[in-house]
Amino acid sequence: MLVRSLTLAALLIVAGPVLAADSDAPLAQELGKSRPLVIIAPSAADPTLRGLNEALMDPATQAAFKERSLVLFTVASMLGKREDKPLDQQTTMALIRELKLGASSGTKVILVGKDGERHVLKDDDSGGRVEPQTIFKAVDELPASEKAVTASAPVAATTDAKQGKPGKPAAPPKPPKPLED
């Protein structure tokens, strides 16, 4: 009994921080599902941020954004948003920590692929805009291996190859036997 308790305690000590880190990591939640586009600006009046928000008002740009599975994360004056919905402070800080960016005063535009690979599109304080076409071109130039990444989906029912009929779904695994003391 003591051995089991010590083993469980050791597992919780090791797995606790790992599970806690994943729970508030916004980019990890998007992994395999979408491509986050992260804009970190010193203020909400930043020309890059404003220009992209204005461009997203256009229905054609919105459609192209959705077609490429892009999700917009913005951080301006330490206030984070995901698709214009506010993020809490802890989630905003987790987003910044997850990107592992160095200190700078300029605007950063980072495209994160479905596979988690980061591509910096802009990292300066020149005040220039990043056009949506530049973002779309960067997404279209991603390697084929990144485009093949998808979120893990539930296993579908098998099909009978001889008749083409749907087969039975796989049986759930049996629960493990209890340990004997």
What pLDDT is stored for residue 21 in this prediction? 47
What pLDDT is stored for residue 17 in this prediction? 55
Q: What is the mean pLDDT of each run of 10 residues along the chain (181 residues)?
A: 68 60 70 86 85 87 88 88 88 85 78 84 72 84 64 45 59 76 64
pTM (global) more than 0.85: no
Q: Are 75 and 41 in contact (CB under 8 A)?
A: yes
Q: Which of 95, 150, 112 is nearest to 36 (CA)?
A: 112
What pLDDT is stored for residue 95 in this prediction? 85
Single-letter amino acid, residue 65: F
What pLDDT is stored for residue 22 in this prediction? 47
Which residues have CB under 8 Å from 181's CB, separation 6+?
A: 1
What pLDDT is stored for residue 16 in this prediction? 58
- Backbone φ and ψ for 73, nearest 5 degrees, come out as -110, 130
What pLDDT is stored for residue 179 in this prediction? 74
